[in-house]
Structure 1
């Protein structure tokens, strides 16, 4: 078990890093009052279109030492409607060398002013809407001079990133990559950096011959140069938004695939080339699935995916060239424990190529038109490929993420025209809440109408930008229904219903009365179409009702006392529900109601009663063999083995699950639960399980063994080091933290360096544990510096404060040790203490 401060730090990461894409319910929903933040008074409209981008041609080369891009741009535009004699381009922190009009085969200098953010150009004359013109700009991009802040979702806004440019970090590749969303691509090329602009594109990149390149569209030429460089030209013939432009340069392996004659390529670090198909190999099937589902075939010329080191987000849907953080690079053994999480990310970014890239939210206020669909695509793919249980589990966790988000950040409208900063739109509301709202809309109109409406929306708005009302109009055109009520309630409003549900049976009248009270704060009353299933006499009868008042009462027929009144039988409502019913109904529900959430609700209710109620205990024991691995693991984690009867009945099942279950998640959960018994008779089981093919299961076994025999666990850890990642590495360093010494510090550093995302913060916690024990000043300073770099990359205030809270007591301890240490050790200990305090102070600020 993690110590309390470690648990806090872990929960902070979950809230701070996976708040999107990447939580507990409550009835109180608060937002920041406008008077406390004047920026919330600003109406965030779509950008006014004075000039429209038509084509963007770039010629770029890179200065690794200075981290500069030397660029030439030819930007073709035309007035949107009104005649104009001027042009404003976004161009952040550039050195502008020339601005000229390209006309009649020659360039003519133009007058301009530049304020470090925008380039204001006086054209040679007034141009009408039908007249296009081309501007040539010679410039230098200096991304390291950008002061713009990122967000929880996209932690930096430099636009252009040089990774390990001098090659000083031996275990890190040299790379260049870009990140355009929200408006950071105008750091590396001048443009109108707004979502309601669309342009075709051509990019020529001059790079060292040893590197490969990737950009949007098709690679149309490669030219070797006399100086040992090569110029690659990528061309995009279909228009897309400027924030979706991308470049990547590096020593990548290109693993080739295809779909209907189109290139489908995977750019990975060479060590991961053998695993690229295991990581990305379902992409062609996804392309077929989404194309068929939407009735709109993937429209772009190719689809490539590239992995970037030190990426500032999770992944980015750059048109035809998605960029992923390096967390997706996994060996076959690591993938055993992934439970298709990374595959959901891959699906998410691909679906953006319809919702976001083809049809783009016309403003950041409408971001959910991009992100809610990408979020929901994860559900669609998991359901199709792995079954509805897995998809429902994914959706349930997404809903919980949104509900927990409201606890520390308050709630807001899904489509919101008032926000502090555009970066704030990237939250669990735009993503997870939006995805759950789409699922409810699907339930309201039915499957056929839902997907036909998406087809109409895409066809109507292809290669254009759109707002939420256009989505509504597409649904109304197909369904024939007025859906203003749904969009006003969910898209242009905030919050969620909090429902208290009770039922009673009148044997004389043979009627079931269901009462639903809406108990959310405030005056808002939700309209909620919902299904109620009544189970009686071995039959199920469905009743579709509409809740539309603070207290809604429904009287429904039933020939006998129901075994179960199943409210929200389709399990689609985005709501917090309290159902007032007996444990016997949950016992019945587990065996008879089919949905994942039916079974989950029953398991959770029965786990609470497992010691006191024999029927509940039977459900718990049955759930240990549930068909879905996630519910098996949930049940294992909730077992109360301090109850003698439960222990006696569950122990044989747990042993079997630990040894033989097909899911590594279940094996790991069973081993962890068995470890709580600290039973010496289980030693051989744990020892054997440390050789499990799953890192998660092997790690759980090692930690369980350590509680019984730390010396044996330490010795085994030494043997397992050579092939350890993820949970196994974490388990090894946890053992070393208890018994290890300065000699083990290299493994702590390696584990930390290899980890990403959640695992990296877990590794940081354990890294600090060993750094607190050792006297090697160089090793301690290096370790703290590594952790500080991680914190800068995550750029999350809560994580930084958590790390600072760990560093300060360690620093105090080092100072106390120094006060009694010998002269030769005192200086080193004080240096360690001072450095930790310095880093803690920087993290807090």
Structure 2
């Protein structure tokens, strides 16, 4: 039985048979707090009268089904999430009246009650296949149609959809029930997954963007309890900058009339590009001091979703095989827009320091896959919707832009939008447009980059003359045996020299930059022959390529002695990346990497470098250091962070980040006394605001150490009675090093009734390094849960548990052996097996790194 799955072949058969004329959807949100009324009318044509097909509807109580005026018995017609539609006519009308179920997992129509004031908030989340949880659909992206929503809700609510919000109409002027109906105008043709309904007691602010193609109304919405945190002026400015940039670069007017951005609670994703009705996590409206990297990331999310209005919404993939292209393009475009049109001009440096690293990691896991995955059905889509799709895909598109040139790339893109507006297309269609505009053959490039998996490593190889000049210079390219493809790379090479400065340490300055095409196992770089060897030779300077790079012996010594001497932030990011790759690959010791960070992070200027690199060092301390060195390295890391936070400029991002890192690293009596002093005010650091989020970080660190218990957590929750406070309290409770705390936390994590974000916070907090004795039983409990958790919690929530709940702190050869036995005999779902395999791979990598660190 298909259940909620749908195969690509089924979708193709249905698309060949049907053409959808329109949807009309009536939702009644006043029927209770468990279900809502959903009546769908679909008008469509069939190319083969007499044929049979099916419509999609999930988790509903179906009251009536009428096809072309003939009643179908729901007891027989509706089964296994499908409605059978026999005896089609040339022109058809399907009417389905049902009660659908509110979600608490973020799939379908999510319902949330704010604990601060009891107000109700609803929002939809439909990607990939969840519109069918709210109304009857043909749930596939290539059956586009106009949608008309009519929504009944309490008359004091805000109701927002893809079309502009109309004035609510009382249901009956004589009726004093307080209900009204919002009758939205039909939308442009669009796919089911980008339709949206958001309703509740939202706060609303309206502005207008006056663009080159006309005015675009801009709405911003949030919960009433977050109004003071809605920095709407900043958000409007960023939105206007992005619109001006994209409308100019894409040479196509914004296609959906108005543009609302709604910050919603308990979101299971970052944001969603619903046409003209973008939903975003309301954690993006921070209540406490955040570093610049937070706002830089939020900007990338906002620009990412806007890019989708053209790439994904105006022109939509035919099937989910091209989901990678949809997300990779928006990911590339968001950083491009940030760097060119907003205050975040160094966005590509942040990309290298943070986002790109997630792509490198994903591409070295056993679950790696080609960017253009073979998504034979919806289950495959769910498994392949990952950082290969986003981070590696964006990196490869950046390489494509370098390969063909930005102007030809844009010319092809503009033609693609015009040729396929409001329709569906494939990557082959885009490739045709790009080949025509650039004059370059791209099928071979697409084959090696998009249809193979794995990341290459590029290493300099050379001979030096007696005068210190290069003789022959080569770039060696290697690949992992299991992913052996060698690729073409458009690559920059930077030669940096140490020059004396006014300070004692001098600077590292770029002497020369060249670009070359790398191909095969060995590429000779004739341009470098006869050049004086620099102090730092940097492969992939400017970061066009997606590849791991290695530093030669002299270059590594140069940056070890003083990476902070390198003025260029992107060049530094590439060095950080190389050092971290070498540490993960057991070529650099964890001890050396941690010391590199302590010596240089205080002078780092990139916002993402400041906040993300200490997390890499913390992982090196906890997982990659040799057990016999770990105690000493933990002490060195802790004391180094204390020095860094005290030396940081008052009120700076460095100070905040180092304080958070110090709290997470605390293990000595001195450190615990500091944390307690920050909490109760007996220790003050100039410029450091101990606000609510930082207080929870301190409370959680003390709880994890067993230095505080329920009393401190409850007292803090008394100060912070918000949903965020409840989530942080739950995380602090499961952090405690007691069997009782772990047992209660694990039970709550596996409970379908635990809200999304609460579950996520608990999973991140429960299995900690240094608590191995108390978490020892949880390898078996995790493996037992892997059999069922996706079914019981839903894919999104279950995936969070499986990905982040693997007890990596128990890493040992014995764990590897036990997991291998489980993998050999399991019949768990494919998604669950994937995450177990990834956890095993992380442990295996950590054990190899520990062996390398033992040699330090």
Q: Which residue does 2:20 correspond to in 1?
A: 53
**Secondary structure of the residue that 1:240 maps to in structure 2?**
coil
**Secondary structure of the residue that 1:183 maps to in structure 2?**
coil
Q: 1:498 aligns with which of 445, 457, 463?
A: 457
Give CA deviations for 1:430-469 in whole Å, capped at 9, x if unaligned. 1111111111111111221222222222222221112111
Q: 1:551 aligns with which of 500, 522, 530?
A: 522
Q: Which residue does 1:440 correspond to in 2?
A: 399
Taking a change above 3 Å as real, the CA distance of residues 303 and 717 of structure 1, as seen in their structure-2 partners, is farther
Give CA deviations for 1:4-45 in whole Å, capped at 9, x if unaligned. xxxxxxxxxxxxxxxxxxxxxxxxxxxxxxxxxxx9999898
Q: Which moved more, 1:55-64 or 1:762-771?
A: 762-771
Aligned-residue offset at 1:412? 0.6
Matched, 1:119 2:45: no
Report the Cα distance in structure 2 between the residues aligned to 1:245 and 1:273, rounded to whole angstroms. Answer: 26
Question: For the pair shown, which has the larger CA radius of gyration, 1 or 2?
Answer: 1
Aligned-residue offset at 1:173? 3.4
Matched, 1:268 2:258: no
Matches within 5 A, 1:665-704: 666-671=654-659
Contact persistence 2:23–2:147 (CA under 8 A)? yes
Report the Cα distance in structure 2 between the residues aligned to 1:710 and 1:416, rounded to whole angstroms. Answer: 47
| Structure 1 unaligned spans of 5+ | 1-38, 128-132, 147-154, 611-615, 677-698, 813-838
Matched, 1:237 2:187: yes
Report the Cα distance in structure 1 between the residues aligned to 2:665 and 2:773, rounded to whole angstroms. Answer: 30
Matches within 5 A, 1:107-186: 109=71, 113-123=77-87, 125=89, 127=90, 133-143=91-101, 156=105, 158-164=107-113, 173-186=119-132
Contact persistence 1:279–1:330 (CA under 8 A)? no
Report the Cα distance in structure 2 between the residues aligned to 1:120 and 1:308, rounded to whole angstroms. Answer: 35
Contact persistence 1:367–1:425 (CA under 8 A)? no
Report the Cα distance in structure 1 between the residues aligned to 2:573 and 2:131, rounded to whole angstroms. Answer: 47
Q: 1:746 aligns with which of 710, 714, 736?
A: 714
Report the Cα distance in structure 2 between the residues aligned to 1:215 and 1:800, rounded to whole angstroms. Answer: 33
Aligned-residue offset at 1:768? 2.9
Give the CA RMSD over aligned residues.
5.0
Choose between structure 1 and 2 for higher RCO, CA contacts under 8 A separated by at least 6 residues: 1
Aligned-residue offset at 1:594? 3.7
Aligned-residue offset at 1:340? 2.4
Q: Which residue does 1:404 correspond to in 2?
A: 361
Give CA deviations for 1:230-274 in whole Å, capped at 9, x if unaligned. 101122431110111111111111111221232211111112223
Matched, 1:628 2:606: yes
Q: Which residue does 1:414 correspond to in 2?
A: 371
Q: 2:296 aligns with which of 340, 345, 368?
A: 340
Q: Which moved more, 1:714-723 or 1:272-281?
A: 714-723
Aligned-residue offset at 1:547? 2.3
Report the Cα distance in structure 1 between the residues aligned to 2:566 and 2:709, rounded to whole angstroms. Answer: 55
Q: 2:203 aligns with which of 241, 253, 265?
A: 253
Q: Which residue does 2:551 correspond to in 1?
A: 579
Matched, 1:207 2:161: no
Aligned-residue offset at 1:808? 10
Q: Which residue does 2:384 correspond to in 1?
A: 425
Report the Cα distance in structure 1 between the residues aligned to 2:366 and 2:186, rounded to whole angstroms. Answer: 40
Q: 1:307 aligns with which of 241, 263, 278?
A: 263
Report the Cα distance in structure 2 between the residues aligned to 1:425 and 1:617, rounded to whole angstroms. Answer: 37
Q: Which residue does 2:756 correspond to in 1?
A: 793
Q: Which residue does 1:486 correspond to in 2?
A: 445
**Secondary structure of the residue that 1:214 maps to in structure 2?**
strand
Q: 2:311 aligns with which of 355, 362, 367?
A: 355
Q: Which residue does 1:76 correspond to in 2?
A: 43
**Secondary structure of the residue that 2:397 maps to in structure 1?**
helix
Report the Cα distance in structure 2 between the residues aligned to 1:248 and 1:224, rounded to whole angstroms. Answer: 19
Matches within 5 A, 1:4-15: none
Taking a change above 3 Å as real, the CA distance of residues 458 and 591 of structure 1, as seen in their structure-2 partners, is farther
Matches within 5 A, 1:530-541: 530-534=491-495, 540-541=511-512
Residues paired across the two proteins, number: 719
Matched, 1:280 2:235: yes
Report the Cα distance in structure 1 between the residues aligned to 2:763 and 2:745, rounded to whole angstroms. Answer: 18
Report the Cα distance in structure 1 between the residues aligned to 2:368 and 2:464, rounded to whole angstroms. Answer: 38
Contact persistence 2:349–2:606 (CA under 8 A)? no
Matched, 1:728 2:728: no
Report the Cα distance in structure 2 between the residues aligned to 1:190 and 1:560, rounded to whole angstroms. Answer: 68
Report the Cα distance in structure 2 between the residues aligned to 1:40 and 1:192, rounded to whole angstroms. Answer: 11
Taking a change above 3 Å as real, the CA distance of residues 509 and 187 of structure 1, as seen in their structure-2 partners, is closer
TM-score normalized by structure 1? 0.73
Q: Which residue does 2:624 correspond to in 1?
A: none
**Secondary structure of the residue that 2:462 maps to in structure 1?**
strand
TM-score normalized by structure 2? 0.72
Report the Cα distance in structure 1 between the residues aligned to 2:694 and 2:392, rounded to whole angstroms. Answer: 30
Taking a change above 3 Å as real, the CA distance of residues 604 and 476 of structure 1, as seen in their structure-2 partners, is closer
Q: 1:372 aligns with which of 328, 346, 363?
A: 328
Give CA deviations for 1:492-519 in whole Å, capped at 9, x if unaligned. 2222212232233346896542222222
**Secondary structure of the residue that 1:219 maps to in structure 2?**
coil
